[in-house]
Structure 1
Amino acid sequence: MPSPTDTGPGAASRRKKKACRRCRHRKQRCDFEQPCHNCEAAGVECMPVIPDSMQSYPAGYVPALENHAAILEQTLNERFPGTALDHLDNVRTQYLGTPLPVMQDFEGQQPSGFDGLMGTSPESERMWQWQPPQTPTQLPSSMNAPMQIGSIGMHQASPPGFAPQATATAPRLIQNVSMTSHGVGPRSEGMDDIPTATAASFFRIYFQFIHPQYPFLSIRECGNWYTEWKTAPPHRPVTGWPAFFVKMIFAIGSLIQSKSDTAPRYQHQDLKSQAQSEDAIIRSTHSSPLIRLQAMLLSAMHALHSESTARISHISGAIIRFASLQGFHRLANLDDEESQMKIKAWSCAYILDRAVSMALDIPSSLADIYISTTLYTERVEPPCQSHMPWLDDVPPSEIPDVLPTLTTFTHTCKIRLIQSYCLHTMHAVPTEGGATPEWQDSMLVQIDNWATEIYSHSLIATEGYQSPLWLRLIEQLSRLALCRPSRLNINSKISDVALKAGCNACTTFRALQKKRQVAQPWLIVITQFQAGVTILYIIWARAIQIPPEADFAIRDCTSVLAILADRWQNAEVYRDCFEVLARAIPRCKRLGCLEREAREELVGLIERVNEVGVHRHVLTMLYEMGMGPEDEDMI
């Protein structure tokens, strides 16, 4: 018999428990234990859900900030007429000259978690944001106290294009608020808060995961920028382009680190907000086209490790357009350092555009017929160990620090050329699968020839982006881009090659994923989904039992998409769609025909997959598998 204490009105609420964070994210049934059964079976840490803390502020806090903004505008307008806008006339009339005693309550208070009234969302696509007052304690204790114009620049970054004229009366404003000769404002306070060890780890992550694939930055210059940032005194922080590049490397390193299993979410959201300044960079007339192209490529690296297909497609195309506008597609190899850096940057822009085109099956941004610049070829590079000072500021990593070489990069450039020609030819034919078998065989021979040189262009002892395994993955994805199964060729050699390539692509990336030495950019989600759907489509269209090699590949693809869905919210729809197919196809009562319930569930997921972004031919295969017998008769 229950005791009176167990049957009280508040007993139910006291006994109510919440599912752990992982079960809530994956929509699984949690047993509310610590650790729960699901997390224990998966071998991951079971983390409880922590309720969000509610912040409260004094009643006069918002009027005080409005008054503070009005004073700043009025002071700027007095010094530089026309600079301040006139959108706060009513606020000036209401607040200026009116003392606000509520500000006396702010002294000594620092609300935790407050990043500024006008702090922007990390998900915002705006390119530049004003930096607001960081805390209420930065406001003067009396609203009638005189405001020093120099103090404005100490706490607020300037918007793009704001460059006040130099006057003898405001040297601090010019030093702290105006844009530098490079077009980029001074380092924000968020960069000062990063410990040296954490900053060094961000640099190491960048040169482990990004530089081997896209070496458009000079290691020597990055080492100088890092040293300049590290040794800069607080009153004279690093400014200009060094500040921008350091900030972007911080943001990219933090983003990649935040997607690992055990990494903390250290300042990722704040650094991501600070990285949205491409618009001011591109418009800067004080910088060379090479620097602006490098800045755009850094923004592209950030987008590659985010989860927006549209953003990746947009920025990769914009980079090619900008580079061609500046003549990078018609460079002459003068064999000097500047010429080689330009060719490296152009080669990175080219292979990025081709990688996006292959993953989404969309036309390239600039056809090869218009390009005369030769992609980067391997040459003797000076040793870079002495130019990586961040390695001295971090403890040894579980992943061995391998000095970046450009051997793998040059070999990747070659396969991107082959992929570009394949896509251009296939997009030129009027119907899907209209390419002749002879032409496809000739392209397969070129891919085979490229694959025979993998071991001579990779580092055998590594397991990351310079390893043979990574190049094997690119090889299999190239075969998938060329060989597309359809109703017309389902029993041909093309479908056989596609089935084998899909299986190898799934098992290869799963092996790389277990090594934990490659990042998991967004395009991996799309290409792994493409490989898995190709396998299931061939099995469904041929109406056969699942072969053993395909069974292992399907399991690997299921695991890969499940892990990626834990990292990317938008990847959940790929995981759900693939799981529906993997569950429904083996259970078909009649081979080659999905059950009605599975088709209905699949059709709803197809629309969501299409919204997030998917390979065009994969979408065609999904629609075919989602059709019923009555729909097939109408084709």
Structure 2
Amino acid sequence: MMQNNAHKRTSRGPRRIRVGPRTQLACVNCKERKLRCDDHVPSCANCHRVGLTCLVEDPCTRRHQSRNYVETLEGRVAFLEDQLQRIQSGDTGSSMRVHAADDAADSQPAASKAREAEDSASELSSKVGMLGLRMDGEEPHYLGSSSAFAFSRIIHSSLRQPEQRYRSETFGFPDEDTPIPPTCPLPDYELGITLSNVYFENIHPQYPFLHEPTFRSWEAGLLEPSDHIETLDFDPIALFFVNMVYCVGALLLSNAGPLPRQLYLSAQLYIDHVLSRDNLESIQAILCCAMYSLRSSKGPSIWMLSGLALRQCIKLGYHRTHKHFGLTPNPLKQEMRKRVFWCAFGIDCMAALTLGRPLGIPLQEVDAEFPIDIDDSCITETGVHGTPRSSCSDPPTTMSTALHVFRIRCLWARTHASIYSDAAVSNPNHPTYSTRVKQLRTELEDWIASIPPIPARHGSALSIFATRDWYDLNYSETVILIYRDQLTGHTNVEDSVFMECARAAESICHGYRRQYIGKPVNYTWGTLHVLFSAGLTYLHCLWTSPAVGDAVWYDGMSSTLMDCTMLLVVIAERWKGATPYRDIFEALSNRTTAMMMDRKREQWMLPAPSTVSNPVDQGDLTQWMADISNVGMSDGIDRLLNGLIGDFILQEPESEMVSGSLEEARQGSGVGGKFN
């Protein structure tokens, strides 16, 4: 176009020289080499041929800049003005709507505004779905795939929940209304690097669904100062992932204030663009949202998000070995496909077992390989550089911890399939039951014996991941998982089973106390669940097994119960939804301590009690049970609770009535909770 215009001017006569910053000038490189410059935008042919950045000298400022400097600035200003207008009008086209309604909008009836919001969101999800059908980045689907339209509708109903009613819903318990935090620009360079370093040191070791070098290139393009305007990138994909990584990193800091929620809202401005691609990056985006929900007391359901990510993986064939694909992707994409699948599978397995639900995909349907045990920096689009880790004695890589996490999640999946999913063979009297349990225990012992070395840290641990305690806690949790079905539903259980479970529960209570009390590690919903279930298991063993009662001493029992109670108290101070867990465990713990002291007063050489403990109020118990049921727990934990209360708390005449109300409270609760 510019060449044609120049030709027309030349044909009319002498060319008029325009004086000003937009005058077409020979670039600096052509001037220095005394070459003829063709004035092409954004790079002349000479610079393009030798791979140099094509710059011209501004006649006024003498500064070297790109030839389309002003046009690029105008484009940026237009983009920012458009984004500002969308935010102010409430039509961001994003998952998180920032409510900036004027006085006239405030006067509309609530029902009318709700209908308008729903219509707008539905229309948007339809557009997103249609975009997904013709996006250049869309990958081929694996067999009977569903449309992006259906997927975007699901995303509309799950990811949009927090901003449509952005309350302080901690673990499913509505708290007082809190104002919607505004979105925020990206932090400055130093803070941004700090937040991303926190993420990759504390979250990435267990959930490596992002490629750190790729992320660092996005981060550099958005944060690092640049002398060349053409290098500035406003790619919504980069903006989404940088905001989400900073958001999750900020959640790990104790003094972050509203910054995590602001960054989360900022990221949601770009999520529709990422999801509409219906490819690897769309799954990574869902997993980023799952990381937010795992670390925050707010956010969409973890079970829903992990299920969405897992189904997208299945839809794209990531659960199958790469040999099933006709075309082999580049090594980086091939490794990231494996990573996102196993991360989604692991989170789904954890959420499903927590809630007592089926797995998103049976393990026997999976033949995808594990990712290579090698550092992120060694994997590029052109190949894998370096030698993967192959021995337990080799130094750990950025993938070593995650691979061991994937293995324990596979063991959980096999435990679920072998013990919990098939009622016909779950009875301990079944001929193969004992063999299956022994096989699972053997696999668990092999797993704990082969843990990788703990990676070195540049700062203090802000997450329990990649610590020795994390492996020990998962080992103990798996022991309880293997035997819990025997504890809660069967008679004539061997004393060794109770002893194993009591020791495992004791180890969990002490391990969490070491990690959380007096350290900057934040609590999560998963912490609450594991700790509460371990405490109940310990109480159940004390009440049910004479062997455990005979083996325990007062100091050991008191220390275990105190550690569990102390942590529940601290968690409840932060999250209101944890209050019923704290209250009911304190009541059960006090009654258990009194029972054990009565039984073993002489052996423990304890003085006679000076006062009689007050009985537990049955109305409080009913309310606590209902609250816990609303949050969501697995059937095994529900049975432990009902068994403990039915056996030794409710011995009054009206106990039958109260037990019935507890059971109704448990069964009448269909939804709720962060995992739910």
Q: Which TM-score tier does this pair reach, normalised by the shorter chain?
A: 0.5 to 0.7
CA distance in 2, matches of 1:540, 1:445: 29
Alignment partners' CA distance in 2, 1:208 and 1:380: 13
Measured after TM superposition, the shift of residue 118 of structure 1 is 5.5
Q: CA deviation at 1:571?
A: 1.8
- Superposition pairs for residues 480-629 of structure 1, below 5 Å? 480-484=480-484, 485-486=487-488, 488-489=491-492, 492-514=495-517, 516=519, 518-542=521-545, 544=549, 547=553, 548-588=555-595, 597-627=616-646, 628-629=650-651
Please report how far the alpha carbon of residue 196 of structure 1 lies from its aligned counterpart in structure 2 after TM superposition.
Answer: 2.5
Letter in 1 for 2:200: F
* Residues 411 and 444 in structure 2, CA contact (< 8 A), matched pair in contact too: yes
Partner SS state of residue 377, structure 2: coil
Match of 2:382 in 1: none
Who is 1:222 aligned against?
215
Task: Give the distance between the partners of 1:608 and 1:189, measured in 2 at CA.
Answer: 32
- 1:280 aligned to 272, 291, 296, which one? 272
Instruction: Give a deviation string over 1:323-357, Cα, whole Å, max 9, x none.
Output: 11111111317682221111111111111112222
Structure 1 residues 193 and 307, CA, compared in 2 at 3 Å: closer, same or farther?
A: closer
Residues 185, 266 of structure 2: 8 Å contact kept: no
Structure 1 equivalent of residue 292 of structure 2: 302
1:407–1:350: structure 2 CA closer, same or farther, 3 Å change rule?
same
In structure 2, what is the Cα distance between the partners aligned to 1:288 and 1:343? Answer: 17
Supply the distance in 2 between the matched residues of 1:316 and 1:324 (Cα, whole angstroms): 12
Q: 1:220 to 1:566 in 2, by over 3 A?
A: same
Distance of aligned partners of 1:596 and 1:118 in 2 relative to their CA distance in 1, 3 Å threshold:
farther
Could you tell me how far 1:271 is from its partner in structure 2?
2.3
Identify if the C-alpha distance between structure 1 residues 288 and 363 changes in structure 2 by more than 3 Å, giving closer, same or farther: closer
| Distance in 1 between residues matched to 2:266 and 2:308, nearest whole Å | 21
CA offset digits 1:363-418 (Å, max 9, x no partner): 2111112111122242465369xxxxxxxxxxxxxxxxx99621111111111111
Select the structure of larger CA radius of gyration. Answer: 2
- Residue 475 of structure 2 is matched in structure 1 by 475
The C-alpha deviation readout for 1:534-585, integer Å capped at 9, x for no partner, is: 1111112237476443332221111222222233222222222211211222
Match of 1:437 in 2: 434
Confirm or deny that 1:357 pairs with 2:352. yes
Contact 1:422–1:482, Cα closer than 8 Å, also in 2: yes
What is the distance in 2 between the residues matched to 1:369 and 1:598? Answer: 48
Work out whether residues 116 and 135 of structure 1, in 8 Å CA contact, stay in contact via their aligned partners in 2: no
Do structure 1's residue 420 and structure 2's residue 417 form an aligned pair?
Answer: no
Deviations 1:282-304 (A, max 9, x none): 651xx361111111111111111
Aligned amino acid, residue 239 of structure 2 = A
Query: Residue 369 of structure 1 corresponds to which residue in structure 2?
Result: 364
Describe how 1:386-465 pairs up with structure 2 within 5 A. Answer: 405-430=398-423, 434-435=427-428, 436-454=433-451, 456-459=452-455, 464-465=464-465
The answer as to whether partners of 1:477 and 1:501 remain within 8 angstroms in 2 is yes
Q: Deviations over 1:150-207 (max 9, x none)?
A: xxxxxxxx967879xxxxxxxxxxxxxxxx98899xxx99443633332222212211
> 2:427 and 2:656 mapped to 1: Cα distance?
21
Aligned length: 452
- Out of 336, 341, 344, which is 2:336 matched to? 341
Q: Once the two structures are superposed, what CA deviation does each residue of 1:469-495 show, in whole Å capped at 9, x if it has no partner?
A: 211111111111111123625553222
Q: 1:199, 1:321 → 2: CA distance?
A: 32
Quick one: which amino acid aligns to residue 477 of structure 1? E
Q: Which one of the candidate residues 79, 89, 95 is aligned to 1:128? A: 95
2:176 corresponds in structure 1 to none
Q: What is the letter of the counterpart of residue 128 of structure 1?
A: S
8 Å Cα contact 2:218/2:238 also seen in 1: yes
Change in CA separation of 1:549 and 1:447 when aligned onto 2, cut-off 3 Å: farther
**C-alpha contact (below 8 Å) 2:192/2:246 kept by paired residues:** yes
Amino acid at match of 2:252: I
Of structures 1 and 2, the one with the larger relative CO (CA 8 A, separation 6+) is 2
Give the letter aligned to residue 405 of structure 1: T
> Closer, same or farther in 2 for the Cα pair 1:424/1:517, shift >3 Å?
farther
Q: Distance in 2 between the 1:127 and 1:609 partners?
A: 33
- Which secondary structure state, in structure 2, belongs to the residue aligned with residue 483 of structure 1? helix
Q: Distance in 2 between matches of 1:623 and 1:278?
A: 46
Asked if structure 2 preserves the Cα contact closer than 8 Å seen for 1:565 and 1:572, the reply is yes
**Judging changes above 3 Å, is the alpha-carbon distance between structure 1 residues 607 and 376 closer, same or farther for their aligned structure 2 residues?**
same
**C-alpha displacement at 1:503, in angstroms?**
0.7
Q: List aligned pairs for 1:207-218, cutoff 5 A.
A: 207-218=200-211
1:232, CA displacement in angstroms?
6.5
**1:247 equivalenced with 2:243 (yes/no):** yes
Partner letter of residue 586 of structure 2?
E
The answer on whether the counterparts of 2:274 and 2:282 sit within 8 Å (CA) in structure 1 is yes
Identity %: 19
Q: TM-score, normalised by structure 1?
A: 0.63
The alpha carbon displacement at 1:274 in A equals: 2.9
* Alpha-carbon spacing, 1:445–1:283, altered in 2? closer, same or farther (3 Å): closer
Secondary structure of 2:371's aligned partner? coil
Aligned to 1:59: none
Question: 1:269-318, CA deviations, whole angstroms, 9 ceiling, x for partnerless residues?
Answer: 3223334468624651xx36111111111111111112369711111112
Which one of the candidate residues 321, 332, 336 is aligned to 2:322? 332
Distance 1:413 1:560 in 2: 28
Give the structure 2 partner of residue 173 of structure 1: none
255, 263, 274: which one aligns with 1:271: 263
Give 2:478's aligned amino acid: S
TM-score of the pair, normalised by structure 2: 0.59
Write the letter of the residue equivalent to 1:606. M
Go from structure 1 to structure 2 and tell me whether the alpha carbon gap of 1:116 and 1:310 turns closer, same or farther (over 3 Å shift).
Answer: closer
Task: Give yes or no for contact 1:182–1:240 (8 Å, CA) kept in 2.
Answer: no
CA contact (8 A) 2:479 2:504 kept: yes
Contact kept, 8 Å, 2:183 with 2:262, in 1: the verdict is yes
- Which of 293, 306, 312 is the equivalent residue of 1:316? 306
Quickly say closer, same or farther: Cα 1:433–1:582, change in 2 above 3 A: farther
Q: Is the 8 A contact 2:236 2:270 kept in 1?
A: no
> Structure 1 stretches of 5 or more lacking a match?
1-83, 85-114, 121-125, 137-157, 164-179, 385-401
